[in-house]
Structure 1
Amino acid sequence: MRYLPTIFLIAVIILWSSCRKDFESDPSIGNLQFSTDTLFLDTIFTNIGSSTYSFKVYNRTGDDFTIPTIRLERGESSNYRLNVDGIPGKSFENIQVLAKDSIFIFVETTTDITSETTDTEFLYTDRILFDRGGNQQDVDLVTLVKDAVFIIPNRDCMVINGEETCTIEGVTIGDATISAHVLSDEELIFTNEKPYVIYGYAVIPNNKTLIIEAGARIHFHENSGIIAADQATLIVNGDVSTDPERMENEVIFEGDRLEPIFSDIPGQWGTIWLTPGSTAHSINHATIKNATVGILMNSDDGRPDPTLRITNTQIYNSSNVGFLARAANVEGENLVINNAGQVSLNCSLGGTYNFNHCTFTNYSNIGSGFRELPTVLIDNNLRVDDNEVIVADLVEANFTNCIIYGNQDREVLFSKIEGTAFNYSFKNCLIKFDDFDDSFKDNPLYDFANTSLFENVILNEDPEFKAPFENILRIDDSSPANGRASVTASGMDILGIPRSATTPDIGAYESAAFE
């Protein structure tokens, strides 16, 4: 009989439990709290989905309650999509929130600008309404939507035996077929009226020229880019901007995700590919950011003039290489390359290179944060496989008034195979090469006392960039690069600031006091 009290207690608990309304609670009475009252979904392009955003709904009371309704004010016609407590939809009923607990609400949108306005951009808004009547609360949703010119490979579809088969437009390069759209004559001028969004590769066809006007914005989807075919030409006509924040006259190449979280993420798109036989390229006042390889250039056009003249241009955050030039003919001035997963500048397989007033650096923390390769790599060979190495003449690689620096000990390396030309020189340059273990002590390629190779070189002095990890590579008057460039230098720096006629600065930037 000593067990009767225990049995009685269990019976009372069972009876009480059978009478309570499991998972039922009183409705909320306007006492919800939110982690934000307005959710901004940042900027998107028309018909391109946003990232997923979220906020929390809190029950700060000591009682469980149920939210009778959660719905979008625009209803089923809304371009927003919700996920409430793990359930997708646009309206919900009887969502329970336990005492002192919270739930997540996730929000996405895809918006067609043509259905709303004829403007090139507009704000798309809606509200999430919680409950009705006097208890109604809300969270505002706001998205800036931009119109764009979309360049997409054509699809040719047909139905065979009841099944649809589609062929996607592409080009064949080597052994690979790449999804691509060959630009028509009407598409060979990119203006600054609307941004351009490219899916796959936009191909400049044989004997045609793509001209990109000042202020144009070019956005690439994943695995996309621009290809210049045989005898094709790319002309980028950017100009100096008056507002360094807006860069209104700069031509900007970047990915198609406009949310701030994507602003510095490497590897969002492919490359600008100047293929063998393409010719007479010019890139001025451009920013190329977040690519896999910023510029990939294969060979020159065989003419005495440079195949590519690149000036006043910045290449940042490449997941592999900033500028990879193979057997190319390049002339660069006021060129800045920083933060690449492997190499910022690779002058590969020989070629002809002349760089003046350039800043080549690498402070990359991509991947593991450790690079095995330097900021600048110069070689006259390319290993195809274990049994084959291609060798070509390095006709010249001249660096004048350049900074080569980074967060490793040795930021310039040479890879030379005997039997072909290997000509290079550095004049009035600031170079980081700390041979801390004397590995290169007896290698004549690194004889910094040899004035025929290294003339007026500043070795291992920190140029004191303002914020190199954030791609701000300006210098001030305290920098050892200040006033140390060749006195024959003239013209403007990358920002359009006149260089000193008597004591110009090394690198792409003329010194100025930091704000």
Structure 2
Amino acid sequence: MKQFFIFFPIIALISLSSCRDDFELEPSFGELEFSQDTVYLDTVFTNIASSTYKVKVYNKSNQDIRIPTIQLNRGEDSNFRLNVDGVAGKRINDINILARDSIFVFVEVTADIEALSQNQLSFLYTDQINFDSGSNRQQIELVTLIQDAHFLYPERFADGSTETLSLGIDAEGEEIQIDGFILDDEYLTFTNQKPYVIYGFAGVPSGRTLNIEAGARIHFHDNSGIIVSNGASMKANGSLSSDTDLLENEIIFEGDRLEPEFSDVPGQWAAIWLTEGSTGHEFNYVTIKNSTVGILMDSNDGSSDPTLKIKNTQIYNSANVGLLARTGFIDAENVVINNSGQSSLNLSLGGQYNFRHCTFTNYWRSGFRQFPAVLIENNLQVGETLFVSDLDVNFSNCIIYGNESIELLLNESDEAEFNYKFQNTLLRFNDFNNQFADNELYNFENSDLFENVILNETPEFLNTEENQMIIGEDSAANGMGDQTTANLVPFDILGKNRIQSPDLGAYQSTQFEE
């Protein structure tokens, strides 16, 4: 076991709804109808099974029929698989459908790109499902794209055990282990040549740096992630893309399910974990989506420079928190975080933070949430023990908003420093019940704490459900930015110049199409 001391088929199912005794007495003459004549199975990684897709097959005649054969055109060599009425195979015989009834066809695929194509990173693989033969034959086309990838995973040993990383010792003195592995030299640089698929936690060893090049795609299996150890670094430096849909130069971290229905599902993988003592992290033009926690940062490295510099980065659909920092040291600009099960930004147990032209919002609709978009604390309660640490945080030219009345919560312990300032920031804080009326932490008239703050006016986002946090021309954030801050961040996250009339948040306003 390697030590790593840190915290913490296609199966097609055709189910019969009816049957008959004798197909030959009432042949179909090729008159079946289908809910679709082509099944497009979404892109899958080589040797990884797809989701199940279904087609409905109708017998709209007044006669019961029997289909002599349902089979794949490629026969036993096909990478598609069928299961008809509970029977698996490439060819299934004698399937019955009652008059004006139907059956369902479910389809899956698994394919090895190396066996199909030489030196191609992706390959379009096709087949057909044949219903009957000869002049009565009808077909449903099957199409899928097989994509090659680097697969990184823990070693499996002869005794059946799996390589693990040690996360330290628990309160009872027991070692905490997790499925994971140490990245070797070959994989300390992720390129954009083909995607990376990670199983378990990929550990960056002490004293080394994981470099991720512009345009790289990193996919995680369930309960997987990246852990950067004490003394190690992670540098993910993408660049501005010309296509805002393809994001061809952006670095993207997401789950390994490529089907559209998984494109915005939170909690598909664990986190990028920057552990205590890790150092010199850089994120630029990065998208992190569908994790449990987007970035988890434990403590700063003790230097005078930020431990994490994060720019032009988007974090969406986190099951818990988008960016969670415990005593972190972060310098951030043009960062957008939305749609988190708890908080989009949680600064916990103090730390040092500067946020310029950032958009922190939370329009979570997948259930109840009890935390605001931004939660700031100089303490952390663990069991009966309260840990405290000094806090110093500044927000300038930012937007803090969401679908709850109060989207900012300040949790102070008087046992440590609690210093904060919001300057030129659009903030949602509707204290309808006067819960915080006498709390000086929320004295918005105190210019030492809140300077040029805009309360509860509409930011006019393009589409919060689709994580499109661009603001419109009628946004209350337009032209309200501090010029000095804008000079430090002269371009928005899309590369648009903001010097002449800086807006709040990561985006300069635009005219929405009607």
TM-score normalised by the chain length of structure 1: 0.92
Between 1:64-73 and 1:23-32, the stretch displaced more is 23-32
**Is residue 119 of structure 2 the alignment partner of residue 122 of structure 1?**
no
> What's the counterpart of residue 286 of structure 1?
286
Partner secondary structure for residue 254 of structure 1: strand
Q: Is the 2:50–2:109 Cα contact (8 Å) retained in structure 1?
A: yes
User: 1:513 offset after TM fit, Å?
Assistant: 1.3
Partner secondary structure for residue 114 of structure 1: helix
Q: How big is each residue's C-alpha offset from its partner over 1:102-136, in whole Å with a ceiling of 9 and x where there is no partner? A: 00111111111000012000111111011111111
> What's the counterpart of residue 429 of structure 1?
425
Partner secondary structure for residue 155 of structure 1: coil
Looking at structure 1, the residues matched to 465 and 92 of structure 2 have their Cα atoms a distance apart, in angstroms, of: 46
> What's the counterpart of residue 136 of structure 2?
135
Looking at structure 1, the residues matched to 20 and 214 of structure 2 have their Cα atoms a distance apart, in angstroms, of: 66
> What's the counterpart of residue 389 of structure 2?
392
Give the letter for the 1:379 counterpart.
E
> What's the counterpart of residue 478 of structure 2?
482
Looking at structure 2, the residues matched to 405 and 343 of structure 1 have their Cα atoms a distance apart, in angstroms, of: 11
Looking at structure 2, the residues matched to 155 and 88 of structure 1 have their Cα atoms a distance apart, in angstroms, of: 30
Q: How big is each residue's C-alpha offset from its partner over 1:87-116, in whole Å with a ceiling of 9 and x where there is no partner? A: 322211110000000001111111110000
Q: How does 1:279-358 map to 2 (within 5 A)?
A: 279-358=279-358
Q: Is the 2:20–2:98 Cα contact (8 Å) retained in structure 1?
A: no
Q: Is the 1:85–1:104 Cα contact (8 Å) retained in structure 2?
A: no
**Could you say which structure has the larger radius of gyration?**
1
| Higher RCO (CA < 8 A, seq sep 6+) | 2
> What's the counterpart of residue 154 of structure 2?
153
User: 1:71 offset after TM fit, Å?
Assistant: 0.3
Q: How big is each residue's C-alpha offset from its partner over 1:54-96, in whole Å with a ceiling of 9 and x where there is no partner? A: 0011100000000010000111121111122333222111100
Looking at structure 2, the residues matched to 229 and 258 of structure 1 have their Cα atoms a distance apart, in angstroms, of: 29
Q: Is the 2:380–2:386 Cα contact (8 Å) retained in structure 1?
A: yes
Q: 1:513 aligns with which of 499, 511, 514?
A: 511
1:452 to 1:116, Cα distance in 2 relative to 1, 3 A: same
Q: 2:378 aligns with which of 374, 377, 380?
A: 380
Partner secondary structure for residue 469 of structure 2: coil
Looking at structure 1, the residues matched to 334 and 508 of structure 2 have their Cα atoms a distance apart, in angstroms, of: 10
Between 1:176-185 and 1:120-129, the stretch displaced more is 176-185
Looking at structure 2, the residues matched to 156 and 55 of structure 1 have their Cα atoms a distance apart, in angstroms, of: 42
User: 1:419 offset after TM fit, Å?
Assistant: 1.7
User: 1:295 offset after TM fit, Å?
Assistant: 0.4
User: 1:371 offset after TM fit, Å?
Assistant: 1.4
> What's the counterpart of residue 190 of structure 2?
190
Give the letter for the 1:428 counterpart.
N
User: 1:500 offset after TM fit, Å?
Assistant: 2.6
**Is residue 186 of structure 2 the alignment partner of residue 174 of structure 1?**
no
User: 1:178 offset after TM fit, Å?
Assistant: 1.2
**RMSD, aligned α-carbons:** 1.1
Looking at structure 2, the residues matched to 428 and 313 of structure 1 have their Cα atoms a distance apart, in angstroms, of: 21
User: 1:328 offset after TM fit, Å?
Assistant: 0.5
Q: Is the 1:85–1:103 Cα contact (8 Å) retained in structure 2?
A: no
User: 1:390 offset after TM fit, Å?
Assistant: 1.1
Q: How big is each residue's C-alpha offset from its partner over 1:194-245, in whole Å with a ceiling of 9 and x where there is no partner? A: 0110011111100000100000000000001111011000001100001111
Looking at structure 1, the residues matched to 188 and 103 of structure 2 have their Cα atoms a distance apart, in angstroms, of: 51
Q: How does 1:51-66 map to 2 (within 5 A)?
A: 51-66=51-66
Q: Is the 2:20–2:64 Cα contact (8 Å) retained in structure 1?
A: no
Q: Is the 1:28–1:68 Cα contact (8 Å) retained in structure 2?
A: no
Give the letter for the 1:390 counterpart.
F
Q: Is the 2:20–2:97 Cα contact (8 Å) retained in structure 1?
A: no
User: 1:350 offset after TM fit, Å?
Assistant: 0.5
Partner secondary structure for residue 70 of structure 2: strand
Q: Is the 1:315–1:337 Cα contact (8 Å) retained in structure 2?
A: yes
Q: How big is each residue's C-alpha offset from its partner over 1:396-422, in whole Å with a ceiling of 9 and x where there is no partner? A: 110000000000000000111112100
* Stretches of structure 2 lacking an aligned partner (at least 5 in a row): 1-18, 170-175
> What's the counterpart of residue 406 of structure 1?
402
User: 1:246 offset after TM fit, Å?
Assistant: 0.8
Q: 1:447 aligns with which of 443, 449, 457?
A: 443
* Stretches of structure 1 lacking an aligned partner (at least 5 in a row): 1-20, 158-164
User: 1:170 offset after TM fit, Å?
Assistant: 1.6
Looking at structure 1, the residues matched to 168 and 372 of structure 2 have their Cα atoms a distance apart, in angstroms, of: 29
Give percent identity, aligned residues only: 57
Q: Is the 1:85–1:105 Cα contact (8 Å) retained in structure 2?
A: no
Q: Is the 1:27–1:68 Cα contact (8 Å) retained in structure 2?
A: no
Q: Is the 1:149–1:196 Cα contact (8 Å) retained in structure 2?
A: yes
User: 1:156 offset after TM fit, Å?
Assistant: 1.9
User: 1:462 offset after TM fit, Å?
Assistant: 1.1
User: 1:271 offset after TM fit, Å?
Assistant: 0.2
Q: How big is each residue's C-alpha offset from its partner over 1:166-213, in whole Å with a ceiling of 9 and x where there is no partner? A: 231121112421111211112111000001100111111000001000
Looking at structure 1, the residues matched to 131 and 94 of structure 2 have their Cα atoms a distance apart, in angstroms, of: 11
Looking at structure 2, the residues matched to 78 and 27 of structure 1 have their Cα atoms a distance apart, in angstroms, of: 28
Give the letter for the 2:491 counterpart.
M
Looking at structure 2, the residues matched to 73 and 31 of structure 1 have their Cα atoms a distance apart, in angstroms, of: 19
Give the letter for the 1:319 counterpart.
A
> What's the counterpart of residue 419 of structure 1?
415
> What's the counterpart of residue 7 of structure 1?
none
User: 1:393 offset after TM fit, Å?
Assistant: 1.2
User: 1:352 offset after TM fit, Å?
Assistant: 0.5
Between 1:351-360 and 1:473-482, the stretch displaced more is 473-482
Partner secondary structure for residue 134 of structure 1: helix
Partner secondary structure for residue 174 of structure 1: strand
> What's the counterpart of residue 221 of structure 1?
221
Looking at structure 2, the residues matched to 94 and 44 of structure 1 have their Cα atoms a distance apart, in angstroms, of: 32
TM-score normalised by the chain length of structure 2: 0.93
Q: Is the 2:20–2:65 Cα contact (8 Å) retained in structure 1?
A: no
Looking at structure 2, the residues matched to 495 and 182 of structure 1 have their Cα atoms a distance apart, in angstroms, of: 35
User: 1:22 offset after TM fit, Å?
Assistant: 7.0
> What's the counterpart of residue 75 of structure 1?
75
